[in-house]
Amino acid sequence: MAEAKLSGRVVTPRELSGSERSRWQALCDSDPVLENPFYCVQFSEAVADSGVDVRLCVIERDGRAVGFFPFQFRNGLTRWLGAAERVGEEMSDYCGLVAESDLKIDARTLLLLSQLSSFSFSHLDETQNRHGLSGERPEIGLLSRMERGGAAYWQEICARDTVLARDTRRRARGLTEKLGPLRFEFRELNPHAALERLINAKREQYARTKAPDALAETWKHKLLHRLADMDEPGFSGVLSTLYAGNTWLASHFGIRSRTVLHHWFPVYNAEMSRYAPGRLLNRCLVEAADAHHFSVIDFGAGDSTAKRDFANASHNFTRGRWQRPGPRSLGFGLAMSAKWRLDSWRARRSSEH
């Protein structure tokens, strides 16, 4: 007997039925490959609540939901062209299909079911290969997997890097002597004022380092505040803060699932940089794992000394663009080419002046 064909139904997050929403969350809760909170239905809902045009393809077989594919449109033109991107675009550290582990589907079929001509993406985890989905230009991602708990894992870090451990203790001692005892809040109960401080400090950091401002758009502020209010058993926003006496040292805003805290927006008091407040905050996050019942800190894509100091596992992300042949896909390609040429011209003009 031939296997039933897949079908797809495109809905907004608010059109998802209660049973479908529960099914989505159950897939994430039961599969270690989908343990990161960016895969959770709540993240897609929060992006939509922030004013972004989010859609979901419910993939069915024999009338039963076997997978979910979230995406968004940047504007009305891309929606008309059927040219989608990952949910949250630069605000999302994972993208892909949330589905039964044995579901096989090629990119063109996924686009067809989702009524799309193309899908542009980065942060596609290597585990999406099991479904038949892949990209190019691999980029490493780092994690801390704390199989014996956070306190034990910090001791493992100290044992493998005695210089780091000794230096961290010295800086903590110096802060205590200068400003008072260290105080760590894992999850601020009234987070919005502290979140505004984090956003402002992060934007100042982008300007200081001449990095692109990832928080320039208003909808991104709305998204962070929306996530900060969320506190469900399988998904919540977490704003953590470290103080020395009454002096703010560092903050981190991330999201978590049942088992994973995703390391997302860290920022520190630049005046306290000699004390490595970011490293002290990461130590506190590791040690908080036992009391707050998570076993993984996911540092997302990218490689740095700060991440390497705490990581013990790695994986790869890829990027790319899937497309189906047709006039809409061709039109989007021409539009992107024209935009690239215009941006290049503007950059040259700016450098001349």
Q: What is the pLDDT of residues 57-109, one digit of tens each?
A: 999 999 899 999 999 999 999 999 999 999 999 999 999 999 999 999 999 99
List C-alpha distances in Å: 268 to 28, 180, 204, 211, 275.
32, 17, 11, 16, 10
Domain that holds residue 231: 147-294
Task: Report the DSSP pairing between strands 64-73 and 231-232.
Answer: unpaired
Task: Please give the pLDDT value at position 341.
Answer: 52
Same domain, 33 and 161: no
pLDDT digits (tens, 9 = 90+) for 197-206: 999 999 999 9
Residues 150, 288 contacting (CB under 8 angstroms): yes
- Burial (0-12, 13-18, 19+ Cβ within 10 Å), 168: buried
Same domain, 134 and 179: no
Tell me, yes or no, if the pTM score tops 0.95: no
Same domain, 129 and 161: no
Task: List CB contacts of 77: < 8 A, sequence separation 6 or more.
Answer: 335
Residues 124, 318 contacting (CB under 8 angstroms): yes
CA 252 – CA 247 distance, rounded (Å): 16
Q: What is the CATH number of the domain that holds 190?
A: 3.40.630
Same domain, 288 and 159: yes
Of the candidates 251, 290, 296, the one whose C-alpha atom is nearest the C-alpha of residue 37 is: 296
Number of domains in the chain: 2
Domain membership flag for residue 112: yes
114 pLDDT above the threshold of 80: yes
Same domain, 157 and 77: no
Residue linked to tokens 């990095």: 211
Same domain, 290 and 151: yes
Same domain, 51 and 135: yes
353 pLDDT above the threshold of 50: no
List C-alpha distances in Å: 313 to 4, 150, 154, 307.
38, 15, 15, 11
329 CB neighbour count, 10 Å cutoff: 20
Q: What one-letter code names the amino acid at 50?
A: S
Task: Please give the pLDDT value at position 347.
Answer: 44
Same domain, 168 and 198: yes
Q: Residue 343: which pLDDT band, with cuts at 50, 70 and 90?
A: very low
Residues 244, 180 contacting (CB under 8 angstroms): yes
Same domain, 163 and 102: no
